[in-house]
A and B are shown apart, each in its own frame.
Chain A
Amino acid sequence: MYYSSESVEELIEQLCRLPTIGRKSAQRLAAHVLKMPRSDVKQLAEALVAVKDRVRACRICKNVTDADTCALCLSTRRDHGLVCVVEESSDVVALERTGEYNGVYHVLGGAVSPVDGIGPDDLTFGDLVNRVAPDPKNPEAPKIREVIVAVNPTVEGDVTAHYLREFLAPYVSVTRVAHGLPIGADLSFADEATLARALAGRRPL
């Protein structure tokens, strides 16, 4: 027990359970919460509970949404024949920030990892195959032309990409985002693995 209040200790312990929050950060956050007006704290608490109560996975792309279908999947301005596969919803945000992508998404919910007990059935992998494979009952359904695999370039991401290709290649063209050097960075600061991949994926000038 560090604080004389059990309630404060409990808050710190709860905050500690969040990723990237250590004990010191948790103490700082708890001290801040103590000083906040009650109405602000109530708003924060309600927002926390609301994400669990209201948010669910989009019927089509499994991205987070408050409705049955997410705004991206409902948009008529988007190219629904182009699907970008990512691991997490946060990856969608990153790609949307570029403003360069006009297709739709599919959120897998992670990557295959036997050590963590995550197999294809624990991901939204089956939904993706159903989405891509032609539906014999509904031949008029909009056809997907290309799947862009944008999973992380980790050992688990690589295997997930390979697995996806095995299942999707019969129906659509499957591509993977390029790996390489970050724009605006110095070549000499790139790590060897990135440089090696960038060299392997070089293009004619």
Chain B
Amino acid sequence: MKIHWLRMQSFRAHTDTRLEFAPKLNLIYGPNGAGKTNILEAVHYLCLTKGFLTNTDLHALQKNAPFFQLTGAFGGTRRRAVEIRLTFDRRRRKQIFSNGARIERRADLVGMLPVVAFAPSDIAITAGAPTERRRFVNNILSQERPAYLTTLLRYRRVLSQRNRMLDQARRKRETPDAAMLDSWNASLVNLGSLLIKARSRFLADFAGFVTKAYQLLNAVTEEPAMTYKCAIAPPDAVDSQDQLHDLFHERLASRAQREQKVGRTLVGPHLDDIHLSIDGLALRDYGSQGQHRTFGIAIKLAQYQYLNSRLEESPILLLDDVFDSLDAKRARAILALLQSDELGQTLITAAEKQAISRFVPFAFEEHRCIQIRDGAEAANGQ
């Protein structure tokens, strides 16, 4: 998948910027605060309806502007060209159009334009809370299979409804209506089990990609592992749907009293974690700074390779400021990827042009350098 051009209106540093991209490498350079990352953020918005930074949509909207609008023209080897437009207004209404036709459901867009972003904030995946690792897994699975995202959104809807019901009963100091709770439990178990099964299968396949990426980054023979931590079922019980449903119901029954006390759902895949380890030792407890960084980049590389192997289209690769924070060895591994033929279109940000142009011949037509200054393309950019 490739993005041919992008237009950003009232979006972060960009009042109205239009950029053309080359089919392979695109280096976006310029001083800090010029709006380089915003460009990657905008591409991410158009592909997945949201940014890769954790700020809210409202932060992306320029002061005094009634709405921001992003437009991008995408094309692939097997898909016809598509123009995606996304608007977000002060009433927090986000609208997405594909070739002018309104897209009603997020799941109808996600997965169509695959994208993988590397950003300094990725450190949260290995070092942060479990929610970061669920987000990582949800991102990949949603892009690989839109049905996963549909199930995830339905599950979240059930969760918020069930939470509301538990909370209402708690406030009134009542026990929730047993038949009603049973009905919500049935939906929670049905949808939740689908998520557990999908995540468990995914992590089993993904492990091989992580090992390969890790070897590429690290000469020392360390064995990385990523295992699924689900409080409901051990890994071997996940394959049988009946067994998984039974275990889920049992767990709900055992936590029922506690749930009534706190007024919120305490069982389900929204509480899953993914356990990361090196040579059998938990990364969170024993990992050094360097190991964290290597692991973080390995799972992002694995994310790219996994999606690349599973999808018809190569994902668009967004590299935000990665070279500034990497040591030589890790930078070389990324550069090896950049120079390989299997890579699709890539957008890289850097403060200095030389950081990357030393390694990549930007003279070719398939590459491009874009200089950004004060929220606009600088005229003397090549």
Contact = CB atoms under 8 A, between A and B. Distances in A.
B177 A155 contact: no
A137 B165 CA distance: 36
Given A114-B168, A162-B183, A155 B107 contact: no
A127 interface: no
A191 B183 contact: no
A13 to B, nearest CB: 17
Given A155-B154, A163-B183, A113 B161 contact: yes
Contacts, number: 58
A158 B180 contact: no
A144 interface: no
Contact of B179 (A156, A166, A192, A195): A166
Contacts of B160: 115
Contact of B180 (A112, A156, A196): A112
A59 to B, nearest CB: 26
Contacts of B157: 155
Contact of B146 (A115, A159, A167, A192): A192
B344 to A, nearest CB: 24
Interface in B138-179: 145-147, 150-151, 154, 157-158, 160-162, 164-165, 168, 177, 179
Nearest to A196: B147
B123 interface: no
B87 interface: no
B187 interface: yes
Interface in A25-76: none
A193 B153 CA distance: 11
B161 to A, nearest CB: 5
Q: Which of A120, A163, A196 gathers the greatest number of chain B CB atoms within 10 Å?
A: A163
B161 A156 contact: yes
Nearest to A164: B183
Interface of A: 112-115, 119-120, 155-156, 158-160, 162-163, 166-167, 191-193, 195-196
Top 10 closest pairs, chain A to chain B, by CB:
A192-B147, A114-B164, A162-B183, A114-B165, A163-B183, A193-B150, A155-B157, A159-B183, A166-B179, A192-B146
5 contacts: A159-B158, A159-B161, A159-B184, A160-B183, A193-B154
